[in-house]
Amino acid sequence: MLEGGLRVAGFAYAPPREPIILWDPAADAQLSDSAGLHQASVRQLWEPRPLAAVPWGAAQGERIASDSHRGPERALEKRAGALRVATLGDSSTFGMGVPWPDCYSAQLEALLARPDRPCEVLDFGVIGFTVRQGIERWRERASAWKPDVVVLAFGAFNDHVAAVDKSDEQRIADGAAAVAGWRGCVRDLREHSRAFQLAARVADRGGAAKARDERWAAVLAERKRLDKKAGWPEFDGVRRVAPQEFSALLAELSSEIRASGARVVLVSVARRPHAEAIHPVLKDYSARVEAAAKELALPLVDARAVFRAHGGSDAGVDALFLEGDPLHPNRAGHALLAAALAEAIDA
């Protein structure tokens, strides 16, 4: 009777979402917003929301595909004789700041297409992703498309970020545990039962909400403090993915993909020189990508070297990125990466 009465009265008290430390509270809030670009995911932590509007493709009416990748809708069954490529990475792969036609995935598709070999490139990049999330993205989304080639572009920035209390590995494990067994039952009741929501509201008014908000505020404040130190190799805090773990996870992901029958191409992601100057540890992640290519006998596209060769100077390299942005290429930068990838794939 209580449950029915609360529903008839329209009462609801949604459970709070613990902030994902990479994002600020405002960005975290979009995970619960049906109009937001991203949605929460138990194992990926977040992913592009199917059919969500893409801000940088507004002029073209662009939306995320129904399978959560960026780019046009595709049929799951591949066309006969077609080459299918999947790109996995972070915001540079997603194409943050540029419309879909400017992304390296879209430009790569055009470069690889032949009259006798149609090509489709599926962009599974996600803003803010680490290689640990990339493993889950491959398993949950990209692998079902059975690509012939998979491009892995990780280690640009997100992996080194201070995580304060939980690495990505710990956060994924905690999320999986929260939806299993009795904890999952309690979570479901809190999510869907109005009676449980009423009890939670009473508890929050009794001080639980204040204590929770204070704890989260302290965690976010600590994250900001540690951010100033995380760019240096001697950082002794918890990173989202530590350098040594990064190497192991990149090898694990490459092995899984190769076991599926697909070829793997690694990318050492480009950044503005200034970003590497203030975050020296980022060069370590790039070096680990290059080492993995040698150890695993995988083709490597060294985008850092490609950008440097084309730009000729720091100012020339900077011109390949969005204005005032240390990490995200503009159309010209994406074009260079697409051309280098096309050469590596067709080699």
34-161+239-346: CATH topology is Rossmann fold (3.40.50)
Mean pLDDT (10-residue bins), the chain, 347 residues? 92 76 63 84 94 96 98 95 97 98 98 96 97 98 98 97 89 87 78 88 87 81 85 93 98 98 98 96 98 98 98 97 97 98 96
- In this prediction, residue 200 carries a pLDDT of 85
- In this prediction, residue 17 carries a pLDDT of 67
- 10 Å Cβ neighbour count for 87? 30
* Domain boundaries of the chain, sorted by first residue: 2-18+166-230, 34-161+239-346
- In this prediction, residue 24 carries a pLDDT of 59
pTM given for the model: 0.90
- In this prediction, residue 19 carries a pLDDT of 61
